Amino acid sequence: MKKLSIALLFLATACTKQLDKEPQGSVFTGSLQTPENTDAMVIAAYSALGNDHWSTPYTTMWAYGSVRGGDAYKGGAGTGDQPDVDAYEQFSSNRVDIGESDGTWYRLYIGVARCNTALQLIEAMDPSAYPQQTQRLAEVRFLRAHFYFILKVLFNHIPWIDETIPKPEYDTISNRSFSSDELWSKIADDFRFAADNLPVTQTQAGRVTKGAAQAYLAKTLLYQAYTQDDNNNVTGTNQTLLAQVNTLCDSVINSGQYSLFADFADNFLSQFDNGPESVFAIQFSKADQTPEGRVDAGAGLDYPMDAEYGCCGFHQPSYDLVNAFQTGSDGLPLLDTYNGSNVAGAGDFKTSTFDPRLDHTVAIPGHPYKYQHNLIFQSAYCRDPATYNGFMSLKEVVAYNDPTFVKYPPFMSSSKNWQVIRYADVLLMKAEALIEMGQQDLALPLINQVRTRAAASTALLTQPDGSATSNYGMTTYQPGVNCTWTQDYARKALRFERRLEFAMEGYHFFDLVRWGVAADVINTYFATEKGRTPHLGSAHFTKNRDEYLPIPQNQINYSKGLYKQNPGW
Amino acid sequence: MKKLLFMLGCLILLLPNIHAQSRPVTGTVTDEDGKPLAGATVQVNGTKTTVTTDDQGRFSIEAVKGQTLKISFVGDQPMEILVGNKTVYSVQLKAQAGNMNEVVITGYTAEKKKDLTGAVSVVKMSEIQNIPDGNPVKALQGRVPGMTVTSDGSLNGAVTVRMRGQTTLNISSDPLYIIDGIPTQRGLQEINQDDVESIQVLKDASAATIYGSRAAAGVVIVTTKSGKNGVKHIDFDASTSLQLYTTKIHVLNTEQHAKAYWQAVVNDDRFGPNVSNPYDPSVTNGIFTYDWNHDYTNPVLNKINIPEYIDAAHTMKASNTNWFNEVSHPSILQQYNLSLSNGTANGTSFLSVSYRDDQGIIKKTRSQKVTVRANLDYNFFNGRLKVGEDLTGSYFKDAQLPIGDIVSLSIIENPVIPVHTVDGGWGGPVAGMDDRHNPVRLIYDNDQNNNNFARVLSSTYAQLELLPGLRFKTAFDVDYAGDYYRSLLKPYQSGFLSSTITQVGTSFDYQGSLTWQNLLTYDVRFHQHSLNLLAGQEYIDNHNQNFNGSAQGLALADINYAYLSEGTSNILVNGGGEADALLSYFGKANYSYQDKYLLSATLRRDGSSKFGSNNRYAYFPAASLGWRISQEKFMLGTAKVLSDLKLRASWGQTGNQSIPAYATYSLYQSIYATDLTWGQSAGSAYDINGAGTGTLPSGFTSTQTGNPDLKWETTTQTNVGIDFGFFNNALTGAADAYVKKTTNILLNPPYLGVLGEGGNEWINGASLENKGIELSLSYTKSLSRDLTLTVSGNIAHNALKITYLPNDAIIGYPGNGTTYTIIGHSPNTYFGWVAQGIFKTEDEVNNSATQPGKGLGRIRYADLNNDGVVDNNDQEYIGKADPDFTYGLNTTIRFKDFDFAFFFQGVKGGLVSNGFKYLTDFTSQAPGSNWGSRVLSAWTPENPGSNIPALTMTNNNNEGRSSTYYLESGSYLKLRNVELGYNLKNALSRYKFYKARIYVQAANLLRFKSKSFTGPDPEIPGSAYPIPLIATLGVNLTF
């Protein structure tokens, strides 16, 4: 009995330690505080740039910028396939509890959180042990501002969390702690710090540069310059900010680092990744020891339904967009009448003249798909041509034999970079600022620079027999010859130019909201487009509501009502 | 000399009982079928003189005239005979459902049923012996009141067991299993059903508390067979079953599918979204063209033109494929079991080997199982020391097919697609269809992939009697389970779907558990007091590790070639591990006075490594009382009618710590990348060099927020019960009522988005309440010498509700978080819109609330808040899934050499969400898929009586939303099992069979469901693998 008691006692003491089980395969926050691990956390923040997905495509922004802007239909297998994006497209059926809105919100805040963790680590480093401290701060604040920028244009009123706020206090930060304008200033502050502290060039092509920061700062200030009231109405333009946009664009232009590609196509071909037009691009990779490669997964639904690809037929250019590429006999876009007749529906690209950017942007039945003479696109390659139409998008995809193409059944994408800001945008941002400052004459050569390049970009646009794919014909704006260059006309021309240049790149809806014309433009689009396709029967844009997505109901609930819903919702 | 030795042996054995007049009394003990009973106990009443019967049921015992012999056998009603002048007696024992002396294992020790004060159900193994489920737990569905077992028909698929409702809100509400004393939460799928001697289910806290941690959701105690002293047996069981797929959804054939498509497009143009601008009077989906009158006021379809080929390359002929038939087949299930048992006073042994081969009703879903068992014990020092070992090993080989995909694809794959192309390749989708795989290809391209699973479960113990009544037992248990899985992904071309990837994957994992138990028991009886004391200690160490790798670029798509070393590209490795431990001390005291007044008290102290050092330990107490009223003198008068009556009451607490091992820590992990096919990457690598390829620099990802204050979740249960027996226990039963409250429930609620990844944090918070009643009754009647009838049934009701949730967790449950919160409701409550039929006239459309997408033939949703708009604010709680009652009824009839049994099981009340309805009732929610045949009777102006929404190709009305349209009655009644057996013993009397029986049996033969349920099987609404009908022919032989 005594022996037994001793044995039990021994067990008792020996086993107390047995209940200490250390986590396996993990690290604690404290162990991250080394120069190497701090740099690694900076990489993790960069990684969030490209961690998007077709269900929350915050890289290509196709669902938020193209579909909502009337550039594109959702596509896919009918309106029930990815119904959240259908709700975005119709506006009338958008809801506060759409899962994709909540998912995108969360994914973007993951990016913010990674940045804040990295910033805390960087700031805690001793500069003597960590000489790259300032530059890393600048890089990460750039990245944070990028995530906030997307959140801002999607949701408008967002909670601002930075590295100074301890996690337990996150639930005290409202999405109305700062006004809309103050939020723009916060984002601008981050970009400004980055612009002031980043080098002009980086040996590692994926790291952000001074030029990228200046361009993104210009973009931010341009958005901020169009002042909005509490109901999303644009009330005017802030001339001081516009002047800053102009100056910042000048710095980028004069840096000597950037230029337009000779051919518009090069922006969307993998072999030109990180070329001279790329101001800020998200780096993707393959054969990189990840399961499928770090590919542009946000574009994973955007390939045609033929044997070389096989999924999923999303992101289909609208008739309206295709018609916009038609040019008049003066070589200019039909600014007011482009959509009067549905040349796209007629499928005739030979009688009228077209902007060559059409065949870089839109896959058209009978035209080579992505410049491939051995793959002539057919409307049957669309998932559901009866519900939508026979077009597909081209910019975010690659040829099936492109070295960056990756199939991860049932989806596919590529490791081709995605440009968030390209040099053409810098030129057109400067032009926009000048026009809004009444200096439209200075804007003219910038717009024409973009058009000249576009007009010259026909080398790849041939049929297998060598003939031109479509009937191309476009020229520059020539005041007195083919136009009268007033401020109003210049504004209209600039806005049309942006649409053509950046079509399907996820810009258009945000441009419309910035300019304060979203409700008019989109409801006009619906009125016409409804008659051409069966899927927009109940689509409607509600002014003073649909300029922004609702704050996801989940987030309002999780914040226990601290977050306030956007107007109109 | 021999005789002398024998006499001497008798002298030694029977020393205290020597009487001058004693003489040998011999006899035979048989069961109610007349079979000899080996191992029955024969005791001279009031003495220690005990013998057991031999193989032939014979016994020989020294007794004196006038003494009483008490003959008992587990599961049978004991019998007493008065020793008279005869020296040879034959005794026939009767099976007794309400046997009060039945021994029940309750928490490290055994008690007699009459002494129980907790809610314990004993499963009659004879009833489930031949059910070919492959998992003893599945056979318990409907047999134990208050215990619900749910599973689909998949081979070795998950089985969910809920005891008295749902005890917690986090992942694990599964009971704790104790297999030969070894605690495990793996379930019983790896235990050979034929090896099981008994299964007992502990439902209330007083019974379960002794198992403390992990016992909150009940305890299932399984004891396997062991040899019996003096018994030598060989048992052989064999059965062959035919399995059939009987619950298919009716889907459309090619012609019907084409017609439904036309109808949908015409509807859209006629009164749907395109009424103002008819979109496409020519109607084609790219494959079919239609000859119709183009008259929208009275559309008439004359002819559907189906082309010879569906693809431009003319490789796929338009077909009329019945995909169900292509993926399924009637299949064979075989089971064999051989066991040997032997026993002497020095020890016993039991050996068994079993083999089970289930071909599955989905082609190639084969599962093969081999189990071996060796239960051995040795007695030393006149039985004062017993050393033993219970060992079982099992090996499973399971085909790894994407079953869920295959079954759902057999519904949604277009019938016009051929299985094969004209040149023998795989058929597949063409433009205009969904990107769905050919399910037959999925079967054959995965045919080579098998998972290999092995488990060793071993308990080695020694029990020493230190003093009379004082025993010390130590047991060391080893439970190791591991998987090895090597898979080959083949390239394919199937319609527009194709892949060129040849990939090998290999994974290993093991889950290990070591348990050391030390028990001290003391049993003492003085005068009319009886006391049993138990003190014990238990240490459990769980650990698991896994690694997996994959590589692409194999030169051959052959499983015999497919090893990791042969991969040339995309070489990936992953691995991880986890460990946790439990340390517990416990004590229990059972006291009874005059066998009438019973008292039991338990205290357990549990420590878990999953909690921080400040909250690691918790105490779980329990107490119970019993009063055997029928033993009271004042009941003597009614004893003939009321043969047994006991009142029970208990209260106690149990714990739960089913959370990840390291929930108290805030952690970062070096996650390089994650699979991004279906979800976002959580990786931290980035191509910072812009090289587009190569090894990438990477960082760390926050994976969780730690909560150092986590503590045990506690379930407090109060139970009152009554056990009764009438007419000499011909009618017995038990009724229980309970209240079970769980507090400090461990939750991992959704969290504020700004926290980013790793914002997930386990908290203690919610409270849950289950209230219920259970009743079981059993009646046995010998109608004649040859005919015996036994009917037993049970019924249980449980009501579940959440009584408290922290604010942070509310939105994780159905409701809107403000006006509708789940508090006060069952967590299994549906939240959504109320569908009020469909709009059938323009007037109805125009005079209803604003509803985006409304129109003729569309579902009308109720404007619950009467604000004129149907929106997010018009949702409410629209039903709950929990059934009102669950019940089972078993009937056994014995007539001469025949036995016949049938078992019904059912569920009453509760709504299920018919997960297939989006396919069976709509063309718009999966427009590229095939649909169910109900779409053919959808509403049109010409078919005004229909309540199925008009067909449309656009889902403008968001009809996939959670609504009452999908909720249907979950009630069902199933004839789970019917069995007819014939005892061959008389027919084969020439052979020395101890037992010989053949039987035919059918499982899931009949199914009754509510008319309101439009799917195939309300038991598994929307589930992948159907529950098959199984017809079995089998034999049980004992030599």
Please write the tens of the pLDDT for every residue from B276-312.
767 666 777 778 889 999 888 899 999 999 999 998 8
Are B751 and B759 contacting, i.e. CB atoms less than 8 angstroms apart?
yes
Nearest CA in chain A to B854: A538
Structure tokens at A218: 């210009």
Residue B434's closest chain A neighbor by CA?
Answer: A77
**Residue B286 contacts A, CB cutoff 8 Å:** yes
Q: List the single residue in B with minimal CA-CA distance to A403.
A: B692
B469 interfacial to chain A (CB closer than 8 Å): no
Q: Which of A211, A96, A245, A87 is nearest to A142 (CA)?
A: A211
Spatial separation of the C-alpha atoms in residues B747 and B171, rounded to whole Å:
9
Residue closest to B981 by CA, chosen among B995, B1001, B1005, B1002? B1001
> What is the rounded distance in angstroms from the CA atom of residue B345 to the CA atom of residue B7?
18
**C-beta atoms of B960 and A83 within 8 A:** yes
Taking the C-alpha atoms of residue B447 and residue B437, their distance in angstroms, rounded to an integer, is 16
DSSP class of residue B484 equals E
What is the CB-side half-sphere exposure of residue A218 using CA atoms within 13 A?
30
Give the best residue of B269, B686, B701 to mutate against chain A (max A CB count within 10 A). Answer: B686
Average model confidence (pLDDT) for chain B? 88
> Average pLDDT per run of 10 along chain A, which is 569 residues long?
45 61 76 91 97 94 97 89 92 89 97 97 95 97 98 98 95 96 98 98 97 98 98 97 98 98 98 97 95 94 90 95 97 96 91 97 97 94 86 97 93 96 98 98 98 98 97 97 97 98 97 98 95 85 97 89 94
Kindly tell me if the per-residue pLDDT of B317 is higher than 80: yes
Q: Across residues B395-414, what is the average pLDDT?
A: 90
* Contacts A306 to B, Cβ<8 Å: 431, 496
3-state SS assignment for residue B188: coil
Cβ A136 vs Cβ A42: under 8 Å: yes
CB of B400 less than 8 A from some CB of A = no
B872–chain A Cβ distance below 8 A for any pair: yes
Bigger pLDDT: B231 vs B908: B908
Give tens-digit pLDDT for B73-88. Answer: 766 767 788 888 887 8
Residue B816: its chain A contacts at CB < 8 A? 553, 557
Res. B786: pLDDT tops 60: yes
Of B312, B516, B953, the CB nearest to A387: B953
* Rounded Cα–Cα distance for residues A446 and A449 (Å): 5
Q: What is the ipTM of this complex?
A: 0.95
Using an 8 Å CB-CB cutoff, list chain B residues near A535. 273, 954
pLDDT above 70 covers a percentage of chain B that reads 95
How far apart, in Å, do the first and last CA atoms of chain A sit?
A: 76
Residues B937, B948: contact at Cβ < 8 Å? yes
Nearest chain B CA: its distance from A288 CA (Å): 5
- Nearest chain B residue to A105 by CA distance is B753
Of A113, A305, A306, the CB nearest to B757: A113
Q: What is the pLDDT of residue B75?
A: 61
Mean pLDDT in residue range B613-637: 90
Task: Out of B272, B684, B810, name the one closest to residue A44 (CB).
Answer: B684
The region of weakest confidence among B65-79, B438-452, B461-475 is B65-79
What is the C-alpha to C-alpha distance for residues B108 and B284, in angstroms, rounded to an integer? 72
pLDDT of B8 > 60? The answer is no
| Residue B670 DSSP symbol | -
Spell out where B31-125 has E strands. 41-44, 50-52, 58-63, 68-72, 76-77, 79-82, 88-92, 94-95, 103-106, 109-112, 120-123
pLDDT at B205 over 70: yes
Residues of A in contact with B279 (CB under 8 A): 533-534
Q: What is the pLDDT of residues B565-610, one digit of tens each?
A: 999 988 889 999 999 999 999 999 999 998 899 999 999 999 999 9
Does residue B556 register a pLDDT over 60?
Answer: yes
CA distances from A244 to A197, A212, A226, A236, A429 (A): 18, 15, 13, 16, 11
Nearest by CB: B581 against A19, A55, A117: A19
* Top-confidence range, B58-67, B215-224, B545-554: B545-554
CB contact under 8 A, A292 and B676: yes
Residues of chain B in contact with residue A106, where contact means CB-CB under 8 angstroms, are: 753, 756
Subunit contact B576:A24, Cβ cutoff 8 A? yes
Please say if the pLDDT value at position B775 is more than 50.
Answer: yes
Q: How far apart are CA B829 and CA B453, in angstroms?
A: 37
Contacts of B670 in chain A (CB under 8 A): 27
Asked if the model's pLDDT at residue B476 lies above 60, the reply is yes
Number of Cβ pairs closer than 8 Å across A and B?
370
What is the mean pLDDT of the segment spanning B833-842? 96
Ordered DSSP codes for B379-417: EETTTTEEEEEEEEEEEEEEE---HHHHHHHHHHS-TTS
The CA distance from B922 to the nearest CA of chain A, in Å, is 11
- For the cut 90, the answer to whether the pLDDT of residue B368 exceeds it is yes
Point out the residue among B265, B692, B956 whose CB comes nearest to the CB of A79. Answer: B956
Name every chain A residue with its beta carbon within 8 A of the beta carbon of B575. Answer: 25
Residues of chain A neighbouring B700 (CB-CB closer than 8 A):
27, 32, 37, 40-41, 44
In contact, B802 and B196? CB cutoff 8 Å = no
The verdict on B172 touching A (C-beta cutoff 8 Å) is no
Q: Would you call B989 an interface residue with chain A, using a CB distance cutoff of 8 Å?
A: no
Could you report the per-residue pLDDT of B232-242, keeping only the tens digit for each? 889 999 999 99
CB neighbours of B171 closer than 8 A, spacing ≥ 6? B658
Structure letter (DSSP) for residue B816: -
> What integer is the mean pLDDT of B741-769?
93
Position B1024 scores a pLDDT of: 67
Answer whether B670 sits within 8 Å of A404, measured CB to CB. Answer: no
Interface test with chain A among B521, B752, B807, B861, by most A beta carbons within 10 Å = B752
> Over 70: is that where the pLDDT of B718 sits?
yes
pLDDT score of B768 more than 70:
yes
Residues B62 and B67: their CA atoms lie apart, in Å, by 10
